[in-house]
């Protein structure tokens, strides 16, 4: 069983990295086939949207025909469960501290929503749906440790951003820590609600907000290091509190 877990984990990581490498080339090729004349900003956004949708389609196919991991879409999630997403407001407040140029033009809003939610859909499907479902249901790993592994892996793969700009290693490491905290929080939300739409919504709102503020998911100004670290710790703490409360409630029943 342990060996199977390791094989599954390494296989998923390798496929994530392969798709992250191949998808941009496939996206550029598809855009080239269309022959569309797009502005630089529009081309960049459409290119990135395709770069997320292509891996998502591959993962959907692999899960449908090979992995058979159950992705939970609980249709009876109570409204109060959506309040678990309210802490993401802290991320938006920290973004405003960088004095960004907020763009609310109709075209920018549409592209930001498409970009933000295509990214969220792909990443949550893989790092929460595939990871949590694979380890918890298929390999019977303790759900809490599956959430920890999901968060750590989600943060770890962001190290690939250092390849794009080796001089920004410190910023990349901060992004890794921040993503670990957010990934763990999203995993706990998924486990508590049995509804992948909640982490998708939280992730998508954050990315859409960043798209409106900065024109991409990258904050060129960057938060001070202590803000990113504080956010990571806050979301890890919230995840632990939510999980502890659920376990306490389950034990009392």
What pLDDT sits at residue 39?
Answer: 79
Structure pTM? 0.92
Residue 102 scores a pLDDT above 80: no
Kindly indicate the confidence band of residue 100, based on its pLDDT and cuts at 50, 70 and 90: low
Q: Is the pLDDT of residue 215 over 90?
A: no
Whole-number pLDDT of residue 239: 97
pLDDT at 219 over 50: no
pLDDT higher than threshold 60 for residue 217: no
The per-residue DSSP string of the chain comes to -HHHHHHHHHHHHHHHHHHHHHHHHHHHHHHHHHT----HHHHHHHHHHHHHHHHHHHHHHHIIIII-PPPPB-TT--GGGGGGGGGGHHHHHHHHTT-------HHHHHHHHHHHHHHHHHHHIIIIIIHHIIIIIIS---HHHHHHHHHHHHHHGGGGHHHH-GGGHHHHHHHHHHHHHHHHHHHHHHHHH-BTHHHHHHHHHHHHHHHHHHSSS--SS---HHHHHHHHHHHHHHHHHHHHHHHHHHHH-
**195 vs 209, higher pLDDT:** 195
Is 231's pLDDT higher than 70? yes
- Specify the range with the lowest mean pLDDT, choosing from 17-31, 156-170, 172-186, 214-228: 214-228
**What average pLDDT does range 52-62 have in this prediction?**
96
pLDDT of the residue at 23 = 95
Q: Are 8 and 36 in contact (CB under 8 A)?
A: no
- The pLDDT score that the predictor gives to residue 97 is 72
Q: What average pLDDT does range 53-65 have in this prediction?
A: 96
List the chain domain ranges: 2-252
> Are residues 175 and 161 in contact, defined by beta-carbon separation less than 8 angstroms?
yes
Residue range 158-205, pLDDT digits in tens: 888 777 776 677 888 888 999 999 999 999 999 999 999 999 999 999
Looking at per-residue pLDDT, the higher value among 47 and 42 belongs to 47
> Measured at the alpha carbon of residue 31, what is the angle toward residues 30 and 32, in degrees to the nearest 5?
90
């Amino acid at each position: 069983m342990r060996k199977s877990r390791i094989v599954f984990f390494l296989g998923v990581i390798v496929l994530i990295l392969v798709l992250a490498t191949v998808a941009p080339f496939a996206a550029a090729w598809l855009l080239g086939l269309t022959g569309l004349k797009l502005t630089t900003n529009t081309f960049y956004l459409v290119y990135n949207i395709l770069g997320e949708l292509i891996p998502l389609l591959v993962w959907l196919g692999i899960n449908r025909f090979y992995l058979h991991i159950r992705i939970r879409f609980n249709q009876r999630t109570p409204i109060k469960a959506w309040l678990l997403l309210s802490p993401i407001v802290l991320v938006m407040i920290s973004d405003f501290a960088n004095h960004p140029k907020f763009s609310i033009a109709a075209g920018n809003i549409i592209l930001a929503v498409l970009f933000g939610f295509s990214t969220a859909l792909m990443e949550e499907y893989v790092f929460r749906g595939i990871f949590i479902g694979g380890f918890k249901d298929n390999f019977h790993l303790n759900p809490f440790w599956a959430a920890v592994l999901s968060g750590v892996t989600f943060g770890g793969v962001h190290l690939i951003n250092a390849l794009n700009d080796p001089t920004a290693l410190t910023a990349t490491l901060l992004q890794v820590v921040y993503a670990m905290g957010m990934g763990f929080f999203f995993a706990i939300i998924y486990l508590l609600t049995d509804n992948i739409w909640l982490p998708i919504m939280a992730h998508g709102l954050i990315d859409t907000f960043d798209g409106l503020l900065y024109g991409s998911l990258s904050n060129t100004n960057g938060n001070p290091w202590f803000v990113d670290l504080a956010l990571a710790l806050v979301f890890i703490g919230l995840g632990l509190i939510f999980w502890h409360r659920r376990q306490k409630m389950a034990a009392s029943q």
